[in-house]
Amino acid sequence: MTQDIEQRLKQDATTIKTTAAQRLANVDFAKSIEHQLLAQSTKSSHSWLWGMAAAIGLSLMTWLLIENNPTPAIMEPLQLSNTLKEVKQLTHNIEEKVNQPLLKEQQAIIEDFKRLKSQMFSI
Amino acid sequence: MTEQQLIKEAQQGATDCFTQLVASYQLRLYSYLLGRCTHHQEADDVLQETFIKAYQYLSSYNPQWQFSTWLFTIARRTIGKYQAQYHNHQPIDDENWVTKQDPFAVDRENIWQLIKNELNTKSYDVLWFFYVEQYSIKEIAQITQQSESWVKTNLHRSKMKLSNNSALELMLEAH
């Protein structure tokens, strides 16, 4: 590269630097950036507080849920036997409501067949 | 306070120390960006974004490198992302590149504008860092995230292209 070009590169860079300096004199970038950084740190400290509040709320909800719905492992023996009775009762009820009508229907069909059979033999 | 002390304080959250660092380097960074960007508004945005990113990632700064090379690395990446994001959607009106209303635009007679038009942005960066910032090949390789041999080759090719450029010849003759 010729000396002329090297010189021109440096010279024109100086022109750009002068333009940049003029622009920087008009706009206080350092101040503007500091404001943005402060705003960001305030925002991030707020989000930290929100996160903390959410965590506390979640812990409280979990604790309340555990308190109101004890698991079998932590039930008293009396409570456990009561629960078992309730479960048995529920099973019985379900069987009565679902299975019994089916059984009755089945019995009725068998009876019908028997009657038809006896009628056929009588003929 | 020395630069390293300012960096340490800023790493611990002292924004005023970081502002001092901004004040020290803003002219060098802004000059580079003003030449590299399409208009001064873009240079303003990229400069701000560069410093904000630098503050956010200050803990990752390796003191074995100059602070300025680290800042230029961030600036290069930021400008690349910025231009990819905006220029894909907003075509630049070439005639408005330099307007009379914009006193901070780099004029067309400037050799750096010619480099930007005739060569590519990587060559622009290598030439700027070598001739203006006077960084070593190793430092330019660090900033551009390329090998030292790549930087040497790029520099050589850019010089050759400029030497054979007719527009530059005319520019030098007119000068």
- Considering the domain architecture, whether residues B98 and B111 belong to the same structural domain is answered as no
- B 25-84: CB under 8 A from A: 26-27, 30-31, 34-35, 40, 44, 47-48, 51-52, 55
User: What b/e sequence results for A15-45 when a residue is b if at least 16 CB atoms lie within 10 Å of its CB, and e otherwise?
Assistant: bbbebbeebbeeeebbeebbebbeeeeeeee
Q: Are residues B157 and B78 in the same domain?
A: no
CB B84 within 8 A of CB B141: no
Q: Are residues B60 and B118 in the same domain?
A: no
Query: How many domains are contained in chain B?
Result: 2
Give pLDDT tens digits for A3-57. 888 899 999 999 999 999 998 988 877 788 888 877 876 666 666 677 788 888 8
- Contact assessment for residue A17 and residue B112, using Cβ atoms and an 8 Å cutoff: no
In this structure, what CATH number is given to the domain that contains residue B134?
A: 1.10.10.10
> Helices (H) and strands (E) in chain A — how many of each?
4, 0
CB B76: neighbour CB atoms within 10 A? 22
Q: Of B82, B105, B128, which residue sits at a domain end?
A: B105
Whether B39 and B121 share a structural domain: no
Is the domain of B15 the same as that of B60?
yes
Same domain, B133 and B158: yes
- Asked if residues A42 and B57 have their Cβ atoms less than 8 Å apart, the reply is no
CATH of the domain at B42: 1.10.1740.10
- pLDDT at position B99, please? 45
Domain range for B32 is 1-105
Whether residues B112 and B99 share a domain: the answer is no
Question: Across A60-69, B4-13, B94-103, B158-167, which has the greatest mean pLDDT?
Answer: B4-13
Final residue in a domain of this structure, among B105, B120, B138: B105
| Min Cα separation A39/chain B (Å) | 11
Contact: B31, A12; criterion CB under 8 Å: no
Summarize pLDDT for B78-94 with one digit per residue, the tens.
999 998 887 665 544 44
Tokens of B126: 């290598």
Residues B88 and B60 in one domain: yes
Quick one: pLDDT at residue B55? 92
What was the ipTM of the complex prediction? Answer: 0.83
Q: Count contacts between A and B (CB, < 8 Å).
A: 95
Q: Which of residues 74-113 of A touch B (CB under 8 A)?
A: none
**Which of B80, B105, B130 is at the close of a domain?**
B105
> Would you call A25 an interface residue with chain B, using a CB distance cutoff of 8 Å?
no
Q: Within this chain, do residues B3 and B76 fall inside the same structural domain, yes or no? A: yes
Model confidence at A61, pLDDT cuts 50, 70, 90, reads confident
Nearest-CA distance B15 → chain A (Å): 6
Among candidates A13, A21, A32 on the partner chain, residue whose Cβ is nearest the Cβ of B112 = A13
Of A12, A21, A36, the CB nearest to B112: A12
